[in-house]
Amino acid sequence: MRSIESDVVVGRLPALACLRAGKREVYRALVYENAEGIEEVTAALPAERIVRTDRASLDRLANGARHQGVVLEVSPLPLLSLGAWLDKGVPEQCAVLILDGITDPMNFGAVIRSAAAFGAAGVLFQKDRAAPITPAVVKASAGGVEYMDLIQVTNLVRDIQRLKKEGFWVNALDAGGDRLLWQADLRGRVALVIGSEGTGIRRLVREHSDFIVSIPVRKELDSLNASVSAGIALGEWVRQNRGGFSDAVEAPGT
């Protein structure tokens, strides 16, 4: 298990998610005395871990992110290798997102947010072809990173092959797919590959996927935002496996 360097959580919702998930140690909470809505954060920590400070100090800690009057100083967020993730035990019915070249922090965080919201089992990404998980990514995920297994790998194609050996059917989302998303069978163990908005999915990743599926859009628009594509694909996965959205989807680990 490896860890990222980021050690601050910025904003009320990400801070509450961090506290509720309990995946990392919270060293202290720095809060702006006059900020609204921080009571849940301060109530969750002993008084000696709460530091009341001014807005300028929080602005510096948040490095430009909207902090809403609260910044947590925390231990690093754990990252898993694929082997460590598989060793935890993988359900026979689950979905994992595979990200191929998502380098924009806001997009990366939004994809993780969708994965957590729809109950995906994990998000897998290549170390050198993804945005680092900075406070901006944590903020964009709206706390989703705290509930999600994050799987960092060095060779995406090799680990796609390993997932296939573990019974995963790999579906790559691409505008030139040979079938529509809702024509794909997303039951059982499923991996959904999301490419970058600029270059899409790389050739080798396409070649090692089982199916290439597409989301129909107007002909005037060639593609969707990566996080939107991820949300639509996961929504279809939920529909096929859980009979629609009548039941609440719990975040992994809850």
Taking residues 182-207, report their average pLDDT: 92
205, 180, 204, 193: which is closest to 230 by C-alpha? 193
Q: Looking at 20-29, 73-82, 115-124, 213-222, which range is the least confident one?
A: 213-222
Predicted local distance difference test score (pLDDT) of residue 97 = 98
pLDDT tens readout for residues 165-181: 999 999 999 988 889 99
pLDDT tens readout for residues 12-58: 899 999 999 999 999 999 998 778 888 889 899 999 999 999 888 88
Predicted local distance difference test score (pLDDT) of residue 132 = 86
Taking residues 96-103, report their average pLDDT: 95
214, 207, 218, 243: which is closest to 229 by C-alpha? 214
Phi, psi of 39 (to 5 degrees): -60, -40
Taking residues 100-109, report their average pLDDT: 92
In which element (H, E) is residue 83 found? Answer: helix 82-87
Domains of the chain: 2-74 (3.30.1330.30), 80-242 (3.40.1280.10)
Predicted local distance difference test score (pLDDT) of residue 243 = 55
Q: How confident is the model at residue 250 (pLDDT cuts 50, 70, 90)?
A: low
Predicted local distance difference test score (pLDDT) of residue 131 = 86
- Mean pLDDT for the chain? 88
Q: Is the pLDDT of residue 197 over 60?
A: yes
